[in-house]
A and B are shown apart, each in its own frame.
Chain A
Amino acid sequence: MSGFNPQLEIKARQAHMNTQAHMTMTNSNHALENRPKLPVYLDYQATTPCDPRVVQAMLPYFTEKFGNPHSRNHSYGWDAEEAVEKARAEIAALIGADEKEIIFTSGATESNNLAIKGVAHFQKDRKNHIITVATEHKCVLDSCRHLELEGFQVTYLPVMQNGLIDLEQLKAAITDKTAIVSVMAVNNEIGVIQPIAEIGAICRARGVYFHTDAAQAVGKIPLDVNAMKIDLLSISGHKIYGPKGIGALYVRRKPRVRMEALIHGGGQERGFRSGTLPTPLCVGLGEACAIARKEMGAEAERLKVLRDRLYNGLKARLPDIYLNGDPDRRIPGNLNVSFAYVEGEGLMMGIKELAVSSGSACTSASLEPSYVLRALGVEEELAHTSLRLGLGRFSTEQDVDYAIEHIVQAVTRLREMSPLWEMAQEGIDIKSIEWAEH
């Protein structure tokens, strides 16, 4: 769809939401009125706003079409079920899967937990080894650590300086005890794209299940579970302009992936995931996937132009900045940049007009330097002063220019106050200085 105009969309979206809010307002609720004056949003890897078209698709399922999709005896239930199945087909189509292979979950965290623990638990009598990567999302690493406590062996593959894994190391790590290999498609902090098709081929040749956490990849880059030989694939709703609280797991049927459920109960979702399906959320995820399938190509082109404008704009005016992660093999909406000679906290305070993240949102309240950047070999100081700049569907050229202006101002001001910067300008190699104890 080439006629998509983000500016008009945002306006339409706000107008639409206000109308909706009006329509449904029966009580005093000040959620909209209480909005703070907001900074420019550049944190699209933390979460994305719901696309207005997604919201539109969802709303009837909160109101007149509210049935339980598992109610088999009346049309409220049938309508809900039909909507859920249509959404399932949309999700499948986006990744080249069959709709029967899609399981709805509460989000990518649950999908990842289910895939890794579910497969490991099912195979525990025959296989006890798992391979993953040091830069995976916390929920993958924590699932693996939990399995280690249960007696599984886990190999955490390192990454090269560009953030990608070395395929030879993967090949060497696989043994006949390996139950599953889990490698994320796109990293949430640095946006790099792992060689998924190559990993899939290696795993298939060795008869090992391949799971990929594609929360940041789905709808951003083309994915095909058959061409890429993926057995399990995690999807998030709120990273692709769908709602929070919904995700999906692709589970291959041929050859069939066997795994244990995490949440037992009514036996919904082929017995892999019990619980009443949240119809509006399923519909929202389906619509988000349908939009992504149509617009992914054009959107990627547009974001790449914006992203390059942002990086080139910063680089033209600021020396000593470093791009973290491979410059080419990354999604168009992500930049991760370290600014030498500034203090991380100060930088964040200095750009209050921008909503950005330093490190992954899940851990952003902590002051630990990002473990992802550390795995790339980024020095601690530079890891501390990194910003993740995420662009997305509603980002505009004005947003980018505004961001360049504020970041350049803040970094310049901080460097002017920094004795390290002064020394560096005078040609002193800071690393060679032996600091005296105070």
Chain B
Amino acid sequence: MPTAIYMDWNATAPVRPEAQHAVAAALAFGGNPSSVHAFGRHARKTMEEARGRLADLVGAAAENVIFTSGGTEANVLAIGSRGERRLIVSAIEHDSVLRPARDAGAATIHVTQDGVVDLDHLRFLLEQDARPALVSLMLANNETGVIQPVAEAAKIAHDHGALVHCDAVQAIGRMPVDLAALDVDFLTLSGHKLGAPQGIGALVLGRAVAVAPLLLGGGQERGRRAGTENLPGIAGLGAALAALEPRETVQVGRMREVLERGLQEQDPAVTIFGAAAPRLLNTLCFAAGSMTAETAIMALDLAGIAVSAGSACSSGKVRPSHVVSAMGFDAATAARAIRVSLGHENTMAEVDAFLAAWSRIHGSRIQAPRNVDERVQPAA
């Protein structure tokens, strides 16, 4: 693989060795958790251990953990369980929330220029229409890493008789997530953002709310999600959760700090999105210079560094980040937004390599006299 430095952990994280081991063991073993014989019972035991571990981590009851095929399915499942409730979502949610929201004609909560949801606007939306609602608000944004005031939002929403769904896909493993403190009704998480394999996620219920199943059939997951469970995925998730180290987050935070400071030193005019808000320690979303993100990312890739523009799910289509746009930045700025997301396998040397590469790619341009650029570009 030509790329040597991976800084796109919010797109997907490498699978932790502990999870690889658990996946390999589950693949070797086989067994359908619904079978009553020894193979089935062993499979079920593995599954329930992982469920217990996940429940413990977020402070939920084990029977309230529903395994899904990933974060997208969990989000769609939660939103689809709202019944007759109307839908209120923040403007910076993931596409798997925004898409059903658009279909349902949902109201959208504004965010501030720092990328934090505007609680007064949420209150306004709840008071404007007396019908009961489901409010969907993510815990940490995938592009900017900005942490949302979910507990406060949940309090406001519950005071107005609303249910609350929280997409915690980017947050789990990168900050403490406590269901009791957040007091949300639905919590989404995804395996492959935290070192478990792709293809596994979960919807965790904060209390006994009814779920309208998307997949009907064999009655697995207490009738809330049919289909033979993805046992290697579940085993991998359990092992990845057990391997999480709070210490790693602190080290990642230090690297992000150095990265951020380095960028500011190279170009004092750099825009750091969400800089004034609490952010995940691993995420840095910025715009600098005049290059579009697409071009900059290509140049970085040639230099052996993998980063991203906006979220991977929509990166097939070249369009400015909806998150940065929602924060009130113009289209030109949104089109320059680059996301660097770090993980525990990154090193300070890699951060230095990024800064050196960035300086080569952008530095010359920033310092070049205006007419040099005009000479090489056709007159517009």
Contact = CB atoms under 8 A, between A and B. Distances in A.
Interface of A: 13-14, 17, 20-21, 24-27, 29, 31-32, 35-36, 38-39, 41, 43, 46-50, 55, 58-59, 62-68, 70-77, 79, 105-110, 112-113, 137-140, 142-143, 145-146, 236, 238, 243-246, 262-268, 274-281, 348, 354-357, 360-365
B70 A278 contact: yes
A265 B38 CA distance: 39
A77 B216 contact: no
Most chain-B CB neighbours within 10 Å: which of A24, A59, A264, A274?
A264
A146 B212 CA distance: 11
A278 B199 contact: yes
A113 B30 contact: no
A225 to B, nearest CB: 23
Most chain-A CB neighbours within 10 Å: which of B38, B71, B95?
B38
A220 B29 CA distance: 22
Given A59-B20, A77-B11, 12 more contacts: A24-B21, A29-B18, A31-B235, A36-B42, A62-B197, A107-B69, A109-B227, A146-B216, A243-B230, A264-B103, A281-B197, A348-B36
A55 B17 contact: no
Contacts of A109: 215, 217-218, 226-228
A109 B216 CA distance: 7
A191 B28 CA distance: 26
B266 interface: no
A24 B25 CA distance: 10
Contacts of B325: none
B306 interface: yes
A25 B25 CA distance: 10
Contact of B21 (A21, A76, A267): A21
A66 B12 contact: yes
A75 B1 CA distance: 7
Contacts of A246: 199, 230
Nearest to A30: B25
Contacts of B1: 64-65, 75-76, 79
B264 interface: no
Contact of B36 (A49, A63, A364): A364
B21 A35 contact: no
Given A66-B15, A109-B228, A264-B100, A138 B199 contact: no
B366 interface: no
Contacts, number: 325
Most chain-B CB neighbours within 10 Å: which of A13, A138, A142, A348?
A142
Contact of B3 (A75, A110, A243): A75
B291 interface: no
Contacts of A26: 17-18, 21
Interface in B84-110: 94-97, 99-100, 103
B260 interface: no
Give the contact-size bracket for chain B: 35 or more
Interface in B199-224: 199-200, 214-220
A207 B350 CA distance: 60
19 contacts: A26-B18, A31-B235, A39-B39, A46-B32, A50-B28, A62-B197, A72-B312, A73-B297, A75-B306, A76-B1, A110-B227, A138-B218, A244-B233, A263-B76, A265-B95, A266-B96, A267-B313, A355-B39, A361-B218
B66 interface: no
B37 A39 contact: yes
Contact of A106 (B20, B192, B227, B239): B227
B27 A265 contact: no
Contacts of B301: 73-75
Contact of B72 (A73, A244, A274, A281): A274
A112 B217 contact: yes
Contacts of B29: 31, 35, 49
Interface of B: 1-3, 6, 8, 11-15, 17-32, 34-42, 46, 68-73, 75-76, 94-97, 99-100, 103, 190, 192, 197-200, 214-220, 226-233, 235, 239, 242-243, 294, 297-298, 300-301, 305-309, 312-316
A29 B239 contact: yes
Nearest to B6: A76
Contact of B35 (A46, A137, A278): A46
B228 A238 contact: yes
B358 to A, nearest CB: 15
Contacts of B46: 31
Nearest to B218: A362
A339 to B, nearest CB: 18
A47 B307 contact: no
A269 to B, nearest CB: 11
B39 A27 contact: no
Contact of B14 (A66, A145, A236): A66
A161 B217 CA distance: 25
A70 B312 contact: yes
B192 A276 contact: yes
A248 to B, nearest CB: 13
A26 B242 CA distance: 13
A20 B21 CA distance: 7
B162 to A, nearest CB: 22
A71 B308 contact: yes
B209 to A, nearest CB: 20
A68 B11 contact: yes
